[in-house]
Amino acid sequence: MNILKLLITVIFLINFYSSDLKAKNLGTEITKNLRCLICQGQSVYDSDSEFANSLKILVEKKLDDGLNEKQIYDYLKNKYGDWILYDPGFNKNTYFLWLLPILMFVFGGAIILRKVILKKKKL
């Protein structure tokens, strides 16, 4: 019975994975990771502003020219800065951004650990 359950789970997971692959269109993927600079809070993919529409066309054009995903990100980063990417690279301006969650995690973990130890001591 357990084996059957496991088998069903595995098949389900594989299905999810492959259906996700089929839906992937590189242009869409790229524009989803670009911030619309004049309608902030929206991705280029979601936005219908003039800027976003032009950028969608440009991304398709660049893909046709044979550029890969990373090259397009680099190209746009050059023009508009890191801010256009929803997934900014790790550099000296973004140390804080990337390390803050880890710091919070460690700090929170330390507090919990302390509480647990204190509780044990009391017992």
Residues that bind another protein (CB under 8 A): 37-38, 40, 50-51, 53-55, 57-58, 61, 78-83
65 in Cβ contact with 18 (< 8 Å): no
Max Cα separation, the chain? Answer: 69
Question: CB 29 → another protein: shortest distance, Å?
Answer: 18
Q: Which is nearer to another protein, 53 or 68 (CB)?
A: 53
Q: Which is nearer to another protein, 20 or 65 (CB)?
A: 65
Q: Which is nearer to another protein, 32 or 61 (CB)?
A: 61
